[in-house]
Structure 1
Amino acid sequence: MSELSSGPGRALVAVYAVFTLSAGARSGYQLATAFDHAPVAYVLSAVAALIYLLATVALWTSRRRVALAAVGVELAGVLGIGLYSVLDPGSFPEPTVWSQFGAGYGYIPLILPVLGLLWLRRGAREPANG
């Protein structure tokens, strides 16, 4: 196990894995059954799932730069899509993982990248093991 995925990092990796599965399964189902209804929302949810997957793997394997990039893109996405969906709700006939700052997921999509960045910052200050 890597240093980023140890201790509290395990919980962070677990939450990222759950979001990878939930966003991926939801968007996969929506893309397969109702793509024409809200293609932008469904594709954005699929993109979010891919970013969650990248963050999960990067945190688990202690690839700090990749994790930082994935979590940074995630935060930018949730802030950008969140704001856009609040200002122009008609553009999103169906919610995405990041719509309204993750309201449909208990705002965890907004909190998760902040926690991820804090964990990466903390880990960068600790000396490497071994």
Structure 2
Amino acid sequence: MSDLKTRPTDQKVSQFIQAVEPESKRQDCWTIVEMMRRITCAEPVMWGASIVGFGTYTYVNTTKKPADWPITGFSPRKANLTIYVMPGFTRFGPLMEKLGKHTTGKSCLYIKKLGDIDQSILEEIVRCSVEQMRAKYPTK
């Protein structure tokens, strides 16, 4: 069985974000970094080549092996900014309706740009997500 490939790296978040194009997406990344830093009280860390993660939690994966993952984070993908909301979206129905233009996956919130959404609603979703994750996976 293979180990989890996405792990914290020594890559500098600032260098990663400085390479993001276009400039407007790069600025959105810096805004998200500041929001997530404020919410988690954690510094950003690169996970793999393209995920900026904040905080960690340990879960037991499908192979019954413990694995670490960021409590929250984001990735500036080509098509969208992907924001990781680890507990998923079932508890966020009313907030999601007010968020603005977005799509979702299981734990991924996809937005084209921050200007398409209500950033205060995004902040509330991320804050609640982090609170849920910390309650479920308390730091030892």
Same fold? TM cut 0.5:
no
TM-score normalised to the size of structure 1? Answer: 0.31
Higher alpha-carbon Rg: 1
Which structure has the highest strand share of the two? 2
